[in-house]
C-alpha cells in the first residue's frame, strides 16, 4: 500500500461524502477506492468510516486521521511548491481567510492584478468574521486583526486598524454628542455581533486611561456595512474601523465622536503555519498586499489620523 496515496484517497472520500463520488473526482475505480480505505483500516487496526446506504460517517479514529492526513498532505504540497518556487514563479492553490468586510473591500479588488501577475496561481478567499483553524480548515494564510496569543504560528504585521465611533449629524442634533464613554449608556448604540445581549466597548490607549462600557444596544447586526447604513440614517452611534467610513466622514454624512477616548490601534497580521515558511505563493501574496497598501494607505487616511 502506498500510504500517502491511500491517505489522499481517504481525505477525498470524506470531502466527497461517498466512495463513488470520490472515485469520480480522483478519478479512479470504485473498487480501487474501497480497497485503499480497507487497507488503511487494516494498517491502523481500527475502523475509520461507518458506512450506511445513504452516507458515510467518521469514527473518532477516522476524524483524527482525517485532520492529520489533511495536514500531512498540505505539508507535502508545500514542499513540492516551495521546491518548484526556487525554479520559477509561485504556482498552485492558495487558500486565504480574512475578515469579511476587509476581504470584500480591501482584498477582493486587488485579486485581478495579483492573478495577472502570477498566472500559475489560483486563490480561494474565505471571508469569515471568526477565528479560523489553519490546519483543520486547510487555510494556508489568515489575516487577523487584534493582539495575538502566544503560538507557534509565523506572523507578519501588515498594518494597524483604528476603531472609531461616529454618528450622523441628525442623530447628534437630536440626541446630543457624548462627551465621555459613560454617556453612551444614554444613547442608541449600534452593535456588531451575531448574538444580541450586552457588548463591551473598550476605550483608552494605555492602562491608565483604559475603561470598558457595557453597551446594551438598540440594533445588533453581524454586518458592519448594515450598521454604517443605519448610523448614516440617524439610528445611533456605531463603532467601526476608521478606513470603512473615511468617505462618510470626509463628506459630513457621519461625525466622529469620543475621539480622545479611542482605544489604541489594533495590529493586522498575516499568519501561517511554520511548515509553510518557505512557501513562494504565501510570500508573493503577502508582499503584494504590503506593496499595494503602502502605496495607497487605506488604513491611515488624513481624516482618521
Checking if the pLDDT of 27 tops 60, the result is yes
- Hey, which residues does 165 pair with through a beta bridge? 239, 257
Q: How far is CA 81 from CA 78, 92, 235, 299, in A?
A: 5, 7, 51, 32
3 state SS of 296 = helix
Structural domains for the chain: 3-81 (1.10.10.10), 89-161+266-304 (3.40.190.10), 163-261 (3.40.190.10)
Per-residue pLDDT of 253-278, as tens digits, reads 999 999 999 988 889 999 998 878 77
Task: Give the integer Cα–Cα distance in Å for 178 and 184.
Answer: 7
Confidence class for position 233, pLDDT limits 50, 70, 90: very high
Say how far apart CA 18 and CA 1 lie, in whole Å.
21
**Among the ranges given (56-65, 101-110, 157-166, 198-207), the one the predictor scored with the smallest mean pLDDT:** 198-207
% of the chain with per-residue pLDDT over 70: 92
Q: What is the DSSP letter of 300?
A: S
DSSP letter (8 states) at residue 103: I
3-state secondary structure 44-62: HCCCCEEECCCCEEECHHH
CB 211 within 8 A of CB 259: no
How far apart are the C-alpha atoms of 284 and 289, rounded to whole Å? 9
> How many other CB atoms are there within 10 angstroms of residue 297's CB atom?
12
User: What pLDDT is stored for residue 135 in this prediction?
Assistant: 78
Q: What percent of the chain has pLDDT over 90?
A: 43
Radius of gyration of the chain measured on its C-alpha atoms: 24
DSSP state of 115: H
Count of CB atoms situated within 10 Å of the CB of 253: 17
**Residue 1: what pLDDT?**
73
Which of 273, 269, 288 lies closest to 77, judged by CA?
Answer: 273
Average pLDDT for 152-176:
93
Give the model's pLDDT for residue 302: 40
What is the Cα–Cα distance from 255 to 260, expressed in whole angstroms? 14
Q: What is the pTM of this model?
A: 0.67
Scored b (16 or more CB within 10 A) or e, 145-163 reads beeeeeeebbebebbebbb
- The predicted pLDDT at position 296 comes to 83
Which residues make beta-bridge pairs with 140? none
Band of residue 207 on the pLDDT scale cut at 50, 70, 90: low
Contact 248, 254 (CB under 8 A): yes
Tell me the pLDDT tens digit for each residue of 283-300.
999 999 999 998 888 887
What is the reported pLDDT for 278?
76
Amino acid at each position: 500500500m502506498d500510504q500517502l496515496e491511500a491517505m489522499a484517497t481517504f481525505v477525498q472520500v470524506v470531502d466527497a461524502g461517498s466512495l463513488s463520488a470520490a472515485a469520480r473526482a480522483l478519478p479512479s475505480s470504485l473498487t480501487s477506492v474501497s480497497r485503499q480505505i480497507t487497507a488503511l483500516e487494516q494498517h491502523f487496526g481500527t475502523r475509520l468510516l461507518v458506512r450506511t446506504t445513504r452516507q458515510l460517517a467518521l469514527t473518532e479514529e477516522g476524524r483524527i486521521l482525517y485532520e492529520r492526513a489533511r495536514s500531512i498532505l498540505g505539508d507535502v504540497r508545500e514542499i513540492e511548491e516551495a521546491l518548484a518556487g526556487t525554479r520559477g514563479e509561485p504556482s498552485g492553490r492558495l487558500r486565504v481567510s480574512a475578515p469579511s468586510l476587509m476581504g470584500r473591500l480591501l482584498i477582493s479588488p486587488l485579486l485581478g492584478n495579483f492573478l495577472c501577475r502570477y498566472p500559475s496561481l489560483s486563490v480561494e478567499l474565505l471571508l469569515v468574521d471568526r477565528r479560523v483553524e489553519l490546519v483543520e480548515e486547510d487555510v494556508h494564510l489568515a489575516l487577523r486583526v487584534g493582539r495575538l496569543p502566544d503560538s507557534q504560528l509565523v506572523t507578519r504585521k501588515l498594518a494597524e486598524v483604528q476603531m472609531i465611533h461616529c454618528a450622523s449629524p441628525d442623530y447628534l442634533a437630536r440626541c446630543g454628542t457624548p462627551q465621555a464613554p459613560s454617556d453612551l449608556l444614554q444613547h442608541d448604540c449600534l452593535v456588531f455581533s451575531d448574538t444580541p445581549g450586552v457588548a463591551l466597548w473598550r476605550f483608552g490607549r494605555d492602562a491608565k486611561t483604559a475603561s470598558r462600557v457595557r453597551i446594551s444596544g438598540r440594533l445588533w447586526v453581524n454586518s458592519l456595512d448594515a450598521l454604517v447604513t443605519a448610523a448614516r440614517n440617524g439610528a445611533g452611534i456605531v463603532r467601526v474601523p476608521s478606513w470603512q467610513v473615511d468617505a462618510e466622514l470626509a463628506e459630513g454624512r457621519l461625525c466622529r465622536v469620543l475621539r480622545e477616548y479611542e482605544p489604541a490601534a489594533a495590529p493586522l497580521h498575516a499568519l501561517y503555519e511554520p511548515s509553510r515558511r518557505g512557501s513562494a505563493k504565501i510570500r508573493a501574496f503577502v508582499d503584494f498586499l504590503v506593496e499595494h497598501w503602502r502605496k495607497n494607505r487605506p488604513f491611515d487616511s488624513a481624516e482618521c489620523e
